[in-house]
């Protein structure tokens, strides 16, 4: 394995515990030099190792550019995880000489004589190299991408089975040429804007901000549903600037999983960072923050599905039209236990400290219709489950 000298120096400083936040590095993969930028937060590694997020840029962009503009490094410093910003290879396409990731859409745009190279070994090499010297939590590796990167991300979840805990696509989607059975299933969230240039070019106008957007985006949504073994049944939640369509109903003989497709009103072809979208309102949304909250929730659910779920945590009735009761296992008794509730966006909407209780009641009138994720903690353990208010 070949690595750059600067990468080796960075590894040494990490082993010595020195504060190193940013590195431009190179790896040699399939006879080509590949570039990446790594962000490491200050402080000591969290218990279990650092979560790891990949941020994949769009067409004719770079990892270095997204290091600066995506908002991920700011979230990573606050939440203490590592972010990797790799750079795609350069291709001759009908869009010009540009950087692009190796997915089906790029293949369809290649100039005669150019060849699509495989990016998958690059991602395995990045994970292996970083985790060999930095404590990485292998159950908390996530992939996020924008545009061409957003189209590459779901391909990664298919071609690298068991690696990623969750995935997020900004202004990108699984290309039909890459659609095949995903096993194991990876919770995925895809975001599109009504004013994305793709809609303007194809429709001559913005995408409708209503349920007809599903029909306009069927070619983008269906590859995900087919790959993940999900039916077209969805639940919807919305506000003035987004509509979320959440698909969780598996087809017969398929494992349950989670796919959300969202349309954001007025969003252009941008990875929104608090400056380039809704900047006129207090606390404008930041895509990296939304996706990180989703990743955290998906990680809880995944750990539950892989056998850490405690069978004595009972939620009933589930689904419910009015109220649920949560039975807390006796062996979790400790002076203080905490209960946290997350909505379908991954935002924590409720928390409660529990003293000497073994049952908690939650009412639909408090929270409204939707899918909710429950996390129960004591001083040494954490358990998760989900429920639905119809």
Rounded Cα distance between 268 and 213, Å, is 15
pLDDT for the residue numbered 325: 80
Digitized pLDDT (tens) for each residue of the chain, 390 residues in all:
455 556 655 565 554 555 658 999 999 999 999 999 999 999 999 989 999 999 999 999 999 999 999 999 999 999 999 999 999 999 999 999 999 999 999 999 999 999 999 999 999 999 999 998 899 999 999 999 999 999 999 999 999 999 999 999 999 999 999 999 999 999 999 999 999 998 998 889 999 999 999 999 999 999 999 999 999 999 999 999 999 999 999 999 898 899 999 999 999 999 999 999 999 999 999 999 999 999 988 865 555 444 344 445 677 777 777 888 877 655 554 555 778 888 766 678 888 887 655 578 888 889 988 878 887 776 656 667 778 887
At which of 272, 307, 342 does a domain end?
Answer: 307
**Same domain, yes or no: 241 and 182:** yes
Instruction: Indicate the pTM of the whole model.
Output: 0.78
Total count of domains within the chain: 2
Q: What is the pLDDT of residue 340?
A: 84
Q: What distance in Å separates the CA atoms of residue 29 and residue 326, rounded to the nearest whole number?
A: 51
Same domain, yes or no: 233 and 379: no
The secondary structure of residue 217, as a DSSP letter, is T
Residues 15 and 46 in one domain: yes
Q: Give the CATH number of the domain where residue 315 resides.
A: 2.60.40.3080
- Residue 84 backbone class (left: φ over 0; alpha: ψ -120 to 50; beta: rest): beta
Do 141 and 104 have their domain in common?
yes
Residue 335 shares a structural domain with residue 220: no
Same domain, 282 and 377: no
The pLDDT of residue 3 = 57
Clarify whether residues 84 and 177 are in a common domain. yes
- Rounded CA-CA distance 134/8 in Å is 12
The burial class, CB within 10 Å (0-12 / 13-18 / 19+), for 196 is: buried
Q: In angstroms, how far is CA 33 from the centroid of its own chain?
A: 27
Tokens of 381: 């353990």
Instruction: Determine whether 39 is exposed, middle or buried from the number of CB atoms within 10 Å of its CB (0-12, 13-18, 19+).
Output: buried
User: Residues 162, 284: one domain?
Assistant: yes
Give Cα 18 distance to the centre of its chain.
29
Residues 207 and 221 in one domain: yes
Task: Name the nearest CA neighbour of 152 among 259, 284, 57.
Answer: 57
Number of C-alpha atoms within 13 angstroms, CB side, residue 39?
A: 27
List, in sequence order, the alpha helices (H) in 188-257. 197-203, 212-216, 218-228
Q: Which of 289, 307, 325 is the last residue of a domain?
A: 307
Element (H, E) at 12: helix 5-15
> Which pair of tokens denotes residue 377?
């903690």
pLDDT score, position 308: 41
First-residue to last-residue Cα distance in the chain: 54
If residue 73 lies in a helix (H) or strand (E), which one and from where to where? helix 72-79
Does residue 155 sit in the same domain as residue 93?
yes
Please state the separation of Cα 27 from the chain's center in Å. Answer: 25
Question: Which residues are CB-contacts of 383 (< 8 A; sequence separation ≥ 6)?
Answer: 304, 308, 309, 310, 313, 375, 376, 377
Mark whether 185 and 244 lie in a shared domain.
yes
Query: How far, in Å, CA of 74 to CA of 369, rounded?
Result: 33
Domain that holds residue 346: 309-389
| 231 and 154 share one domain | yes
Question: Which residue shows structure tokens 């429920």?
Answer: 387
**Alpha-carbon span 21 to 260, nearest angstrom:** 33
Q: How far apart are CA 10 and CA 18, in angstroms?
A: 9
Which CATH number does the domain housing residue 152 bear? 3.40.50.1820
**Cα-trace Rg, the chain:** 21
Strand-pair category, 188-193 with 166-170: parallel
Q: What is the dihedral of CA 108, 110, 116, 119, to 10 degrees?
A: -80
- Given 268, 286, 307, the domain boundary residue is 307
- The Cα–Cα gap between 263 and 150 comes to 15
């Amino acid at each position: 394995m070949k690595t750059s000298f600067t990468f080796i120096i960075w590894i040494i400083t990490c082993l010595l515990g020195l504060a190193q936040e940013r590195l431009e590095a190179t790896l040699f993969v399939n006879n080509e030099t590949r570039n990446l930028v790594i962000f490491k937060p200050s402080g000591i590694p969290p218990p279990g190792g650092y979560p790891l997020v990949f941020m994949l840029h769009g067409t004719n962009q770079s990892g270095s550019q997204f290091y600066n503009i995506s908002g991920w490094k700011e979230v990573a410093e606050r939440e203490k995880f590592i972010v990797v910003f790799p750079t795609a290879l350069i291709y001759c396409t009908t869009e010009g000489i540009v950087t692009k990731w190796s997915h089906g859409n790029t293949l369809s745009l290649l100039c005669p004589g150019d060849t699509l190279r495989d990016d998958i070994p690059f991602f395995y090499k990045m994970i292996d190299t970083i985790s060999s010297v930095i404590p990485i939590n292998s159950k908390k590796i996530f992939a996020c991408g924008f545009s061409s990167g957003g189209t590459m991300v779901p391909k990664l979840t298919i071609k690298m089975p068991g690696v990623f805990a969750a995935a997020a696509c900004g202004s990108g989607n699984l290309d039909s040429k890459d659609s095949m059975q995903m096993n194991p299933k990876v919770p995925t969230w895809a975001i599109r804007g009504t004013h994305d240039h793709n809609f303007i070019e194809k429709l001559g106008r913005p995408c409708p901000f209503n349920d007809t957007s599903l029909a306009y985006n069927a070619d983008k949504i269906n590859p995900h549903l087919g790959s993940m073994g999900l039916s077209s049944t969805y639940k919807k939640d919305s506000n003035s600037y987004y509509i979320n369509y959440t698909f969780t109903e598996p087809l017969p003989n398929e494992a349950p999983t989670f796919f959300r497709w969202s349309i954001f009103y007025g969003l252009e072809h941008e990875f929104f960072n608090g400056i380039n979208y809704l900047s006129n309102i207090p606390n404008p949304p930041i895509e990296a923050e939304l996706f990180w909250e989703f990743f955290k929730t998906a990680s809880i659910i995944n750990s539950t599905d892989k056998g850490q779920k405690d069978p004595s945590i009972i939620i009933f009735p589930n689904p419910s039209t009015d109220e649920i009761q949560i039975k807390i296992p006796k062996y979790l008794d400790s002076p203080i236990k905490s209960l946290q509730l997350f909505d379908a966006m991954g935002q924590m909407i409720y928390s409660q400290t529990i003293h000497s209780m073994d049952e908690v009641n939650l009412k639909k009138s408090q929270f409204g219709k939707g899918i909710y994720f429950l996390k129960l903690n004591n001083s040494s353990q954490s358990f998760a489950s989900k429920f639905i208010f119809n």
